[in-house]
């Protein structure tokens, strides 16, 4: 993994050896801690993000952000329903700081 920053953002480049596919999970090492909020909080820690492979994702075939099976359209043409959970199946754990992760307290997490 390489990390750095430029005038616009802090970045990290992941290498293939930092992604692990197991029987039930996909694990990705991230240079950004779990609680980081885009353009708000500083990067204090690295994290490992896990994805449970057996997760059944919400279906949103019309890409309106609502779970298709819950959509109801009123007489006025307003569609309501349950919002799609884009984080479904993901779990995040911060790495211990004892692993010699060097915090970057001068930059906030942003993406292009």
Q: Give 112's pLDDT tier (boundaries 50, 70, 90).
A: very low
* Residue in the structure block whose two tokens are 């953002």: 9
The contacts of residue 93 (CB under 8 Å, 6+ apart) are 34, 47, 48, 50
| 15 belongs to a structural domain | yes
How many domains, the chain?
Answer: 1
Could you give the CA distance from residue 100 to residue 84 in angstroms, rounded to a whole number?
37
Q: Is the model's pLDDT at 63 over the cut of 60? A: yes
Containing structural domain, residue 15 = 2-58+87-107
SS3 17: helix
In terms of Cβ atoms closer than 10 Å to its own Cβ (0-12, 13-18, 19+), residue 98 is exposed
**47 domain-assigned:** yes
Confidence at residue 1, expressed as pLDDT on a 0 to 100 scale? 40
Asked whether residue 32 is assigned to any structural domain, the reply reads: yes
Output the pLDDT for position 2: 42
The model's confidence at residue 70, banded by pLDDT at 50, 70 and 90, is very high
Give the pLDDT mean for 40-53: 79
Q: What are phi and psi of 68, to 5 degrees?
A: -55, -40
Cα dihedral: 9, 91, 81, 37 (round 10): -30
């Amino acid at each position: 993994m390489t990390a750095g920053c430029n005038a616009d953002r802090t970045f990290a480049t992941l290498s293939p050896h930092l992604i692990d596919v197991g029987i039930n999970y996909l694990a990705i090492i991230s240079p950004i801690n779990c609680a980081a909020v885009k353009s708000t909080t500083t990067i204090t820690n690295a994290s490992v993000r896990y994805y449970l492979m057996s997760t059944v994702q919400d279906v949103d075939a019309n890409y309106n952000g609502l779970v298709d099976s819950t959509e109801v359209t009123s007489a006025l043409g307003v569609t309501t329903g349950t919002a799609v959970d884009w984080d479904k199946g993901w779990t995040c754990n911060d790495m211990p700081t004892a692993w010699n992760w060097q915090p970057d307290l001068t930059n906030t997490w942003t993406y292009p």
